[in-house]
Amino acid sequence: MSKDLKPGTLYLVGTPIGNLEDITFRAIGILQAVDLIAAEDTRHTGKLLQHFQIAAPQISYYEHNKRSRQEELLARLQKGETIALVTDAGMPGISDPGYELVKACIDAGISVIPIPGVTAAVTALAASGLPTDRFVFEGFLPIKGKERRDRLNFLKHETRTLILYEAPHRLLETLSDLASVLGENRQIVLARELTKVHEEFWRGTIRDAIALYTTNREPKGEFTLVVAGTQTQENLILSEEELKTELRRLIEQGMTRSQASRQLAQLTNIPRRQIYDLEI
């Protein structure tokens, strides 16, 4: 074991989102030294490891095996092994099951150390040309149904810049939903193939984006959508059950109850204390 590693520690290692040269020297050193690498896709990560001549063994950790695999990883960490958690691209724990493992380690008193790397959301935001001082990362929207409609209706009143992820086969559906709820004249930036050879930033209105991908182009590559926040200051109207749902969601994302209550109070004009006292 490298003298720089702490026994029984989970390392969250950021990996490139496209261009392999974006990996850090520190990340390579950690991956070379750990006892085990837990990867979202071992075949995908295997190519990265081969490129940098890293021989550490891998084990899969992804959405459909996270519960069974979590116990095994915790047991190995508690025995003093060092494990690096990686995702297919970017920082683990962002729109992938890494969050559950991190929380389980913290609850078990296991040290968690981040090894920072690039993230598609911040990379797209920085070059979007939209305001960067205050923003909201939403990741992937719920795929369909009431949950999707409710989420979009909530975001309609968000004044901060919005960041979303979307797969190419669902791009037009998402753009259409954004147009119907947020308005077709809302400014949007479509960033795709970030840091790769065919990296592209398209800027315009949601209406123009729909026209582009309906008549001229087929969506290809993973998309990061950066959407301007609303310029109006209408108060969001939520039922008590919807308030509870939003309060619970914000707390699950890591906010304290006080922080979540304050944010919802600003959006709804309902007293913060009233929201804080809701039974969830």
Burial class (CB in 10 A: 0-12, 13-18, 19+), 37: buried
What does pTM read for this prediction?
0.81
Tokens encoding 5: 């590693």
> Which stretches of the chain drop beneath a pLDDT of 70?
1-3, 233-234
What is d(CA 231, CA 185) in angstroms, rounded to the nearest whole number? Answer: 12
Residue 1 confidence (pLDDT): 44
In angstroms, the first-to-last Cα distance of the chain is 46
Residue 60 confidence (pLDDT): 97
Tokens encoding 50: 């081969």
Torsion of CA 205, 210, 212, 216, to 10 degrees: 180
| pLDDT (tens digit per residue) in 127-167 | 999 999 999 999 999 998 889 998 999 899 899 999 999 99
Classify each residue of 118-131 as buried b or exposed e, where b means 16 or more C-beta atoms within 10 Å of its C-beta: bbbbbbbbeebebe
The DSSP line for 91-129 is: -TTSSSTHHHHHHHHHHTT-EEEEE----HHHHHHHHH-
